[in-house]
Amino acid sequence: EIVMTQSPATLSVSPGERATLSCRASQSVSSNLAWYQQKPGQAPRLLIYGASTRATGIPARFSGSGSGTEFTLTISSLQSEDFAVYYCQQYNNWWTFGQGTKVEIK
Amino acid sequence: QLQLQESGPGLVKPSETLSLTCTVSGGSISSSSYYWGWIRQPPGKGLEWIGSIYYSGSTYYNPSLKSRVTISVDTSKNQFSLKLSSVTAADTAVYYCARHITIFGVVHWFDPWGQGTLVTVSS
């Protein structure tokens, strides 16, 4: 099983600042990586697939990068609605998720 | 737009079988471009893929749950279902259904998701 490790567990950021979230795979997943946003009491929402392609309707302030084992989700200027938990998911070999990074207001 | 809705009992006794159904609206479950999946999230924890099914009945199951999981599809009702047997408290979670995007026969990410349903395992 490919293990996905996200860091940090919690990220404290002020509105308007940049947030950088990391996701590491235990073995190469090529670019077969997706990112999701989950707000309290809601289902996850797809943000990014193919490591860097924004899903339909996702604002341009969200960007993804990386390949192989190291991936990054960047939120360029945090808006109030962006405070949430973010998960990465690999789909190179079965389907596994990271444990999540909580982005909270500083 | 496509919507998914989970339904089923919110309370299941230990050792019994958890049964949930996902109803798909706004699109056909028989599309060749998608599998249909179940994912769960224990309270306060992360996400775990349970299994996925194609409209033809072809399935993938999480190896860690495979011995207890059965996923089936009813194309006439545009629904797919999850059965998880011999449940324990560790199976308490919010259960989500989701469309599992398939491209050229390769299964990828999940989009969209249902709102989820909490299933508690307790006597």
What pLDDT digit, counting tens, does each position of B49-93 carry?
A: 999 999 999 999 999 999 999 999 999 999 999 999 999 999 999
Name the residue among A55, A96, A100 with its Cβ closest to that of B49.
A96
pLDDT at B105: 79
Residue B120 has pLDDT above 90, yes or no: yes
pLDDT tens track for A27-83: 999 999 999 999 999 999 999 999 999 999 999 999 999 999 999 999 999 999 999
The owner of tokens 């599992």 is B100
Buried b (16+ CB within 10 A) or exposed e, A33-59: bbbbbbeeeebbbbbbbbbbebbeebe
State the pLDDT confidence band at B33, using cuts at 50, 70 and 90: confident
Q: Using CB atoms within 10 A of its CB, is residue B114 exposed (0-12), middle (13-18) or buried (19+)?
A: buried
Partner residue opposite B49 with nearest CB, options A36, A95, A99? A95
Select from B34, B59, B111 the residue whose CB has the most chain A CBs within 10 Å, as the one to mutate to test that interface: B111
Separation between Cα atoms, residue A97 and residue A24, nearest integer Å: 11
Q: For residue A16, what pLDDT is reported? A: 95
Model confidence band, residue B106 (pLDDT cutoffs 50, 70, 90): confident
Identify the closest residue of chain B to A34 by CA–CA distance.
B109
Tell me the one-letter amino acid at B68. Answer: R
The pLDDT tens digits for A45-60 are: 999 999 999 999 999 9
Q: What is the 3-state secondary structure (H, E, C) of chain A?
A: CCCEEEECCEEEECCCCCEEEEEEECCCCCCCEEEEEECCCCCCEEEEECCCEECCCCCCCEEEEEECCEEEEEECCCCHHHCCEEEEEECCCCCEECCCEEEEEC
The pLDDT, as a whole number, for residue B11 is 98
Instruction: Provide the CB-side half-sphere exposure for B101 (13 A, CA).
Output: 16
Q: Answer whether A43 sits within 8 Å of B48, measured CB to CB.
A: no
Contact A89 B109 (CB under 8 A): yes
Determine whether the interchain pair B109/A49 forms a contact, defined as Cβ–Cβ distance below 8 Å: yes
pLDDT over threshold 90, residue B109: yes
Cβ-proximal residues to B56 (8 Å cutoff; 6+ apart), any chain: none
pLDDT for the residue numbered B104: 82
CA A51/CA B58 separation, integer angstroms: 27
- Kindly report the backbone phi and psi dihedral angles of residue A84, in degrees, each rounded to the nearest multiple of 5, phi listed first: -170, -175
pLDDT value, residue B107: 85
